[in-house]
Chains A and B, each alone.
Chain A
Amino acid sequence: MTEAIKKEEKILSIRDLSISFQTALGSVDAIRGVELDLYRGETLAIVGESGSGKSVTMKAVMGILSSNGVINSGSIDFTYYDNDEKIDVDILKLTKKHMRSHINGKHIAMIFQDPMTSLNPTMNIGAQIMEGMIWHKKANKKEAYQRALELLELVGITDAKKRMKNYPHQLSGGMRQRVVIAIALACNPDLLICDEPTTALDVTIQAKILELIKDIQKKMNISVIYITHDLGVVAKVADYVAVMYAGKIVEKGTVDEVFYDPRHPYTWGLLSAMPDLDTFDDVLYTIPGSPPNLSHKVEGDAFADRNIYALNIDHRLEPPMFKISDTHYAATWLLHEKAPKVEMPKALKERIERMLKEASDDGQ
């Protein structure tokens, strides 16, 4: 009963988020009206071209924007529990100091791409896992030690007692990344953000770590956001997918909706560009052109110049989010009732049909 209620509970709600950076060459509108929701226990993947604003959006959620960043508008509502007491906050209204001492590391934890940069080379890993618990939870040393042992075992590190005394350089890359995950989980966060957590790892370790995060997520009912450009990773872990382009979310939906029924031409391009293990095509599809320069104001749809399906209106007016289902939305004028009917590229359509057939042959 309580399980069901908790599952439906929204823990993160971003509305109308706009962020600019002041640079020597003027102001860059990096984030232009992002809206996003996340429910307890669920996994969201954010995908999109390099520079589209994925990391900046998540840094705003952590309250760690760089100093030349300016929030122009918006809210980031976050719901968490402190000793069973439910607390709602707008992260944008909190001070950095408050974020540091009450939210970060405790209720929101983040795993960065390179595990080495987030570990302290001069401190053994046991002390690093215990540090957060002692600081945030006011746990005593003995409790913290016990919990650190449990966590190391949970993330699949054998011989945990001995490993507690190791320094980061004495561990392999995959083990280090697992230690970073153990640190992130030490304070029972409500939300875990993983920014390209596995790009530095090879596929075998990557698979183990993703399965591990999934497992722990189920046990502790935490919500997870992944930022990644590996669509195979998205397929493996995500419940929901948000596609970002030029500082906006241009399509979002369940992983099934976005992979099997994509509606935005940018999503079509992204899905078409991934290499397909089943074919021996000679040329990989690429999206023509390059992303817009966000130091100029964007007129109309930011993707229009690269979009062979662009309508006249795309160059003049920014499209709103059109609703396709209760969970599926896309910002393209192609979804307007008066728009001409445009289908996704034939090759992509065939590929999706093939994927669906494979899945049904597989009994899914």
Chain B
Amino acid sequence: MDNKQPLLDVKDLKQFFRISNKFTVKAVNGVSFHIYPGETYGLVGESGSGKSTIGRSVIRLYDPTAGTINFDGVDISGKLSDTEVQHLRTNMQMIFQDPMASLNPRRKVLDIIAQGLDVHHLCKSKQEREEKVYQILEKVGLSREHANRYPHQFSGGQRQRIGIARALIMNPKLIIADEAISALDVSIQAQVVNLMKEIQRETNIAFLFIAHDLSMVKYISDRIGVLHLGYLLETGTKEEIFSNPVHPYTRSLLSAIPLSNPRIEKHRTSETYEYETSGIDYAKGVSNHIDGTHYVHATPEELKVWL
């Protein structure tokens, strides 16, 4: 992995929102991470920690307050030229949490999926457009007959496949999946996750996978980043994070995953973590190398206590 070029390289990203003269929300406060081609990076952390904001800054729905975002060899953190916008909008795609809310109910599946092709004028003929949609439908486990239906005529899992098809048809290098499976039931989650992995094997696509279900994140990700209050507290391979969590917040997060083994789960209580009373100051911490790809955000004194 060492000599490979990252596909996405985010350095010291800050995304602030000014609410009033006196008050600014520091949603993302100096976050760095990178994703290699063909890799899945999982982003976890409590509600409000800044996960979606990172996704939205990276795909440039926001103007970053500070920091750099390098995507596919191009710095996309500043003002973008038309060709850079075109490059970004085709090579980076996003899948959203609620498939029903993100699919236009009055448009046929064919037109929903072809939307990106239409916007960027990527098809020469009507026939080519249809053929591309049919191919992608098959890839996500639907059939060409589905092309003429409307979103409400599909089950939750099938709708999420339409969302994936719409992202895939652009043949992107990176897909940001923001809570893309959280609303689905276990068996359907498994279908969607298997599909994402299979497509990754075929096309070497990279995923930024945002979720709060850690067991799914562990299953799908190669590396994981733990976010809290806008700070990336710990990052590493899933083995590094799950077998050697260093930061107390990561430890409490892992201890809170309910295990599906009743005889153990009934007697377990989770570790608690309260930032306000912990004595930890994120603003003073820096990134510390533990080993391999494992990094922890801490002051030298904090690190001494935790290791």
The answer to whether A259 touches B190, judged by C-beta atoms less than 8 angstroms apart, is: no
Mask: chain A, 221-246; 1 = CB below 8 Å from B; 0 = not: 00000000111111110100000000
The answer to whether A208 touches B212, judged by C-beta atoms less than 8 angstroms apart, is: no
A312 within 8 Å of B by Cβ?
no
Mask: chain A, 82-95; 1 = CB below 8 Å from B; 0 = not: 00000000000000
Contact status of A204 and B262, CB under 8 A, knowing A232-B257, A286-B194:
no
A-B contact count (CB 8 A): 139
The answer to whether B216 touches A355, judged by C-beta atoms less than 8 angstroms apart, is: no
**How far apart are B44's CB and chain A's nearest CB, in angstroms?**
8
Of the candidates A203, A231, A236, A282, which one forms a contact with B266 in the assembled complex, judged by CB atoms under 8 Å apart?
Answer: A236
The answer to whether B191 touches A286, judged by C-beta atoms less than 8 angstroms apart, is: yes
A24 within 8 Å of B by Cβ?
no
The answer to whether B46 touches A204, judged by C-beta atoms less than 8 angstroms apart, is: yes
A23 within 8 Å of B by Cβ?
no
B273 within 8 Å of A by Cβ?
yes
A4 within 8 Å of B by Cβ?
no
List the A side residues contacting B194 at CB < 8 Å. 283-284, 286
The answer to whether A206 touches B256, judged by C-beta atoms less than 8 angstroms apart, is: yes
Tell me the complex Cα distance, A202–B253, Å. Answer: 9
B12 within 8 Å of A by Cβ?
no
Mask: chain B, 259-283; 1 = CB below 8 Å from A; 0 = not: 1111111111110110000000000
Tell me the complex Cα distance, A204–B156, Å. Answer: 27
B48 within 8 Å of A by Cβ?
yes
List the A side residues contacting B258 at CB < 8 Å. 203, 206-207, 210, 230, 232-233, 235-236
Q: Number of contacting residues on A, CB 8 A?
A: 51
Tell me the complex Cα distance, A92–B256, Å. Answer: 40
Of the candidates B156, B197, B256, B272, which one forms a contact with A50 in the assembled complex, judged by CB atoms under 8 Å apart?
Answer: B156
Contact status of A287 and B187, CB under 8 A, knowing A202-B46, A211-B269, A275-B215:
yes
Tell me the complex Cα distance, A203–B156, Å. Answer: 23
List the B side residues contacting A229 at CB < 8 Å. 185-186
List the B side residues contacting A200 at CB < 8 Å. 47
Of the candidates A173, A203, A270, A284, which one forms a contact with B193 in the assembled complex, judged by CB atoms under 8 Å apart?
Answer: A284
List the B side residues contacting A286 at CB < 8 Å. 187-188, 190-191, 194
Of all chain B residues, the one with the shortest Cβ separation from A210 is B258
List the A side residues contacting B242 at CB < 8 Å. 277
List the A side residues contacting B261 at CB < 8 Å. 235, 259, 355, 358-359
List the B side residues contacting A210 at CB < 8 Å. 258
The answer to whether B262 touches A273, judged by C-beta atoms less than 8 angstroms apart, is: no
B104 within 8 Å of A by Cβ?
no
A325 within 8 Å of B by Cβ?
no
Of all chain A residues, the one with the shortest Cβ separation from B183 is A199
Where the two chains meet, the residues of A that have a C-beta atom closer than 8 Å to any C-beta of B are: 49-51, 172-174, 199-208, 210-211, 229-236, 238, 255-256, 259, 269-271, 273-277, 282-287, 290, 355-356, 358-359, 362, 364
Listed by A's residue number, 30 A-B pairs whose Cβ atoms lie within 8 Å are A199-B182, A201-B47, A202-B45, A203-B256, A203-B258, A207-B258, A207-B270, A211-B270, A229-B186, A230-B186, A231-B186, A232-B258, A235-B258, A235-B260, A235-B261, A235-B264, A236-B265, A255-B262, A259-B262, A275-B219, A276-B260, A277-B259, A284-B190, A285-B190, A290-B155, A355-B260, A355-B264, A359-B263, A362-B264, A364-B267
